[in-house]
Amino acid sequence: MNMRALGPFQVGAIGLGCMNLCHAYGEPLAAPDAERLLLAALDMGVTHFDTAALYGFGASETLVGRALAPHRSRFTLASKCGMDGVVGEGGVKRRVIDGRPEAIRRTCEEALRRLRTDVIDLYYLHRWDRSVPIEDSVGALAQLVAEGKIRAIGLSEVSAETLRRAHAVHPVAAVQSEYSLWTRNPEIAVLDACRELGTAFVAFSPLGRGFLAGAVPDAAAAEAFVAKDLRRSMPRFQGEHLAANLQWLPALSALAQEAGCTPAQLALAWLLHKAPHILPIPGTGNFAHLEQNTAAASVRLTDDMMARLEALVNRATVSGARYNAATQVEIDTEEFN
């Protein structure tokens, strides 16, 4: 696989997002199957694995540690802090955003144990806790760098302004935000800011949470989401918004056929062609999809195909917000007017 810079590291152009091994979409994989998938990804040339304390409230980090710790020298390990779970009423965990230095340190120590490693290569602030100055949170991460517990600092879902404030405290190796054909917000400012600062841009949900890969071909598929599927709360997968988005999906499949690849590969190749500092991290629990996703690094798109893709899927043709109102207030990224 072609290599790209992820801060100080050189990694395969397409990494693996490890959220949906145990969190967010459908039923999680059984642990042995998840571990086999992680090892298969490594054998396919994936060298960038991205997880977080939040994913399964530690379950994803535990899986990654158990499967990949024996091969630690072969890959770059990324995880996240600042958004985790606390035990609420009835013993049920609920998600909290906490960017206090003491919370960041605690989460890092817990992550190191789960990941079975002495150091995390890239450690992100998962969300900016607006009750804590970004300088304080990044200062805590910088102290972890100084102590050798992490090697580089990242931020997730932040604006260009917040990135610049953070970068003034300590170099930010990577920004991770949602970016795909149907979520173009990073094009407002943060992509350019990353390029100017020498910061990598890691694109999560590069397949539109499965929509761009054809995983939701009709309304019935959306209605069949399990109760805990995050997409149940996302406007783009509901009612009139979903109906509108389904209208252009066959044309996207036709463009993929013309390009000689799958729709998922087309969406990933589009990202890779946009700029050399963009690194997509599709997630999957399916071995065949894993193989297809990694092979997308070899897909070549003409300027004409890029233009036709962007004419088909863009702000005007995509219906619905990417998050519901309650989640949107937690996000620092720029929004289109």
Q: pLDDT > 90: what percent of the chain?
A: 92
Question: Tokens 């969300």 map to which residue?
Answer: 127
Residue 55 among the catalytic residues: yes
The whole-number pLDDT of residue 157 equals 97
Query: Domain coordinates of the chain in residue numbers?
Result: 3-208+274-299
- 289 within 8 A of 44, measured Cβ to Cβ: no
For 301-332, what is each residue's pLDDT tens digit? 999 999 999 999 999 999 999 999 999 999 99
Kindly state the average pLDDT of the residues 93-98. Answer: 87
Kindly state the average pLDDT of the residues 33-59. Answer: 96
pLDDT at 166 over 80: yes
Kindly state the average pLDDT of the residues 143-160. Answer: 98
Enter the tokens of residue 249. 């999906």
What's the pTM value of the predicted model, to 2 decimals? 0.96
The whole-number pLDDT of residue 87 equals 62
3-208+274-299 belongs to CATH 3.30.300.160? no
pLDDT at 86 over 90: no
Average pLDDT score, the chain: 96
Q: Which helix (H) or strand (E) holds 143?
A: helix 134-146
d(CA 105, CA 59): 19
Q: In terms of DSSP H, where are the helices of 147-286?
A: 160-169, 190-197, 219-223, 239-259, 263-274
d(CA 169, CA 159): 16
Catalytic residue among 25, 55, 123, 179: 55
d(CA 65, CA 75): 12
pLDDT at 204 over 90: yes
For 171-182, what is each residue's pLDDT tens digit? 999 999 999 999
The whole-number pLDDT of residue 24 equals 83
Q: Which helix (H) or strand (E) holds 3?
A: strand 3-6
For 232-289, what is each residue's pLDDT tens digit? 999 999 999 999 999 999 999 999 999 999 999 999 999 999 999 999 999 999 999 9
The whole-number pLDDT of residue 152 equals 98
The whole-number pLDDT of residue 122 equals 98
